[in-house]
Amino acid sequence: MTTAGTIHGLGLGPGDPDLMSVRADRLLRNARHVAYFRKAGKPGQARRIVDGILPESTVEFPMEYPVTTEIHFSDPRYNAVLSDFYADCTTHLRALAEGGEDVVVLCEGDPFFYGSFMHLYTRLKDHVPVQVVPAITGMSAAWTATGMPVTWGCDVLSVLMGTLPEDDLADHMARADALVVMKIGRNMDKIRGALRKAGRYDDAWLVEYASMEGQTVSRLADAEGRVTPYFSIIVVHGQGRRP
């Protein structure tokens, strides 16, 4: 019988190849099969990070999202379409592993932190060996880019999705000491409103392309009217106990 190969969910970190782990680099340089998510017609950020690292003989399997923002996530069709997509990807990856092939799945940031790989992991883990390689998250690169510690002493850090309703955002923002807000994009006006309601607006920082080419860091109040790119994170630093 053929020994099953392993699916590696490989965290690549926030974007700078120098911030990848040694384990990630080793797996990439010996990869026979590599899979990665991307938007249709785009090369994909994960694939861009590893450009020049993969062996020329590596077989690539780009997994192109059938929808991104065309259907709102609250629409039942959104989950149905994505569920079929993840099932198809799983079938392909499982067949490779069952045939004895190891597969590296590229993951931006950390695979278990709001990543698409999680949807493959839950479908694969009971059938073939799956290993996850953790990595530096985008939010870690973002608060580092501000040049200030994000938490002190007993500070409570909340990580919020900009897709939440404004009142829910404001409630979490008011109760937390330090904040990270992700998935900004078209939610920026709502996020600004929530920060104002919570009294945190003047303390908020906007980081674009953290650790990547084109990185910018500015106070959110100084970025009024700016259209933020996909790779944007808002940070509010905690001011807790310190010696």
Whether residue 151 lies inside any domain: the answer is yes
> Token match 């069952």: residue?
98
Nearest 5°: the CA angle 29, 31, 32 is 140
Secondary structure (3-state) at 93: helix
pLDDT at 70 over 70: no
Same domain? 121 vs 209: no
Whether residue 180 lies inside any domain: the answer is yes
How far apart, in whole angstroms, are the C-alpha atoms of residue 61 and residue 41?
A: 14
Q: What is the pLDDT of residues 131-142, one digit of tens each?
A: 999 999 999 999
Q: How far is CA 201 from the centre of its chain?
A: 24
Measure Cα distances from 77 to 39, 71, 115, 232 in Å: 18, 8, 20, 27
Which pLDDT band holds residue 71 (cuts at 50, 70, 90)?
A: low
Whether residue 2 lies inside any domain: the answer is no
Measure Cα distances from 90 to 7, 103, 122, 140, 215 in Å: 11, 12, 10, 30, 34
Same domain? 183 vs 93: no
Residue 143 sits in a domain whose CATH number is 3.30.950.10
How far apart, in whole angstroms, are the C-alpha atoms of residue 136 and residue 12?
A: 8
Which pLDDT band holds residue 240 (cuts at 50, 70, 90)?
A: very high
Whether residue 189 lies inside any domain: the answer is yes
Are 91 and 128 in contact by the 8 Å Cβ rule? The answer is no
Whether residue 146 lies inside any domain: the answer is yes
Same domain? 11 vs 120: yes
Q: Which domain holds residue 186?
A: 139-236
How far apart, in whole angstroms, are the C-alpha atoms of residue 10 and residue 109?
A: 9
Whether residue 152 lies inside any domain: the answer is yes
pLDDT at 69 over 70: no
CA dihedral 60, 61, 62, 64 (to 10 degrees): 170
Measure Cα distances from 201 to 10, 125, 193 in Å: 36, 42, 8
- Tell me the average pLDDT across 214-220: 96
Tokens for 92, please give them: 């392909």
**Within 13 Å of residue 142, how many CA atoms lie on the same side as its CB?**
24
Whether residue 212 lies inside any domain: the answer is yes
Same domain? 84 vs 116: yes
Domain ends where: 136, 167, 188?
A: 136
Q: Which residues are paired to 107 by β-bridges?
A: 11
Task: List, in sequence order, the alpha helices (H) in 99-152.
Answer: 117-124, 138-145
Tokens for 189, please give them: 């006006």
- Tell me the average pLDDT across 164-175: 98
Q: Which residues are paired to 61 by β-bridges?
A: 35
Same domain? 51 vs 91: yes
> Token match 């080419």: residue?
213
pLDDT at residue number 230? 85
pLDDT at residue number 93? 98
pLDDT at residue number 59? 98
pLDDT at 1 over 70: no
Same domain? 49 vs 99: yes
Domain ends where: 83, 104, 136?
A: 136
Domain ends where: 136, 156, 188?
A: 136
pTM of this structure: 0.92
Instruction: Give the percent of the chain with pLDDT over 70.
Output: 97
